[in-house]
Amino acid sequence: METRVDPPGSGGRDTADAQRRVPAAPEDARGPELPYPSGWFCLALSRELAPGRVLTRRFAGEDVVLYRTGDGRPHAVRPYCPHLGAHLGSGTVEGGNLVCPFHRFAFAPDGTCVHAPGGPAPRARLEHHPLRERNGFVLVWRGHDATPPAWEIPEAPAADITPTAYWTADVFTHVQDLAENAIDYRHLPALHGVAVEEIAPPRAEGPCLAGRLRMAPQRLPAMKKLMGDYSYALAGLGYFRTETSLPPLGLAIHMWAMNTPIAPRHTRMLVAVACTAAEQPQPSALPLLRRPLYRGVARAMLWAAAGALRDDVKIWNIKRYEPRPRLAAGDEAIGYYRRWACQFYPPP
């Protein structure tokens, strides 16, 4: 087993010390609420945002308007028109510009107002959110100020893999609690009936944190032979990616859990799964059957994951955030995760 190291910048402090570095927030019966973290968060699937489409998504207490121009490029802007404040979510994409529905002022992809019917365009511009598209997800940056994104989501090893099965849930807890679930090994046998073995402890590298586990249902230990190791990687608190394999079937399962803060104690979770060959498929391996097989396996894995997550959601929806958890032996990964997570909050 590898040695655990403290995340960069944590200085090896304990969890309570680290949590004191997170700004205090209003407290109610469910304890203190954490502020919104910075980072990249998924606001849509690429396939929802066809060229010419305009979408409004709720994100950290505000609306964000997403649109895609005819050249295929996606954009994210603040929702209110600088002219008289109409909501651009009911605007249209015309000739590469976003056109406001109220007086039809047109805004170029860089945000500049380039056309106003009946006169010269005013000196006005739309404010853009930094946006990235990865593996079929549209992600928007949230910072604590207007500075450019401090980091990028690492390219997944298979950049061309896009999921084929999806599940979403509204969860009434803070986004930090959702990713903590993967690091909280103790709940896996207790709540999900899954035996877990830590193969590589969580290891942080700046905004990313990764580790490896071995899991098998407690009632079906023989499944251990079917399943390979489960590696997970977090990039900030909103992007969680796992990869596991089914060696006897030669299949790899890629799963994403994209957790997006919607409002205080309201997170939208999107779980998406893709199945691929573990290695390059042989030319003789019945190519016509491969696609439906991959889709079917992805659906089955999503169904199993959603079943387990429904049990988590019941806990999350009424739990409180414990800023000074009484961690026990075996909970070290949780303390490590919380110290790492401090970097996404503004300084107190």
Interface residue list for ligand FES (CB under 6 A): 81, 83-86, 100, 102-103, 105
Number of H helices, E strands in the chain: 6, 19
Q: Which does 165 bind (CB under 5 to 8 A by kind): Fe ion, ligand FES, none?
A: none
Task: Please report, to the nearest 10 degrees, the dihedral formed by the alpha carbons of residues 272, 275, 280, 284 taken in order.
Answer: -150
Q: Which of 259, 253, 222 is nearest to 237 (CA)?
A: 259
Structure tokens at 251: 């299949």
- When asked if residue 181 is in the footprint of Fe ion (CB under 5 A), the reply is yes
Q: Which does 81 bind (CB under 5 to 8 A by kind): Fe ion, ligand FES, none?
A: ligand FES
DSSP string for 49-90: S-TT-EEEEEETTEEEEEEE-TTS-EEEE-SB-TTT--BGGG
- When asked if residue 312 is in the footprint of Fe ion (CB under 5 A), the reply is yes
Q: Which does 253 bind (CB under 5 to 8 A by kind): ligand FES, Fe ion, none?
A: none
Cβ nearer to Fe ion, comparing 198 with 312: 312
Cβ nearer to ligand FES, comparing 100 with 183: 100
Cβ nearer to ligand FES, comparing 81 with 171: 81
Cβ nearer to ligand FES, comparing 37 with 91: 91
For residue 179, the surrounding DSSP H or E stretch is helix 175-183
Q: How many CB atoms lie within 10 A of CB 160?
A: 8
Q: Which does 312 bind (CB under 5 to 8 A by kind): ligand FES, Fe ion, none?
A: Fe ion
Q: Which does 245 bind (CB under 5 to 8 A by kind): ligand FES, Fe ion, none?
A: none
Q: How many CB atoms lie within 10 A of CB 240?
A: 22
Cβ nearer to ligand FES, comparing 21 with 115: 115
Q: Which residue ranges make up the site for Fe ion (CB under 5 A)?
A: 181, 312
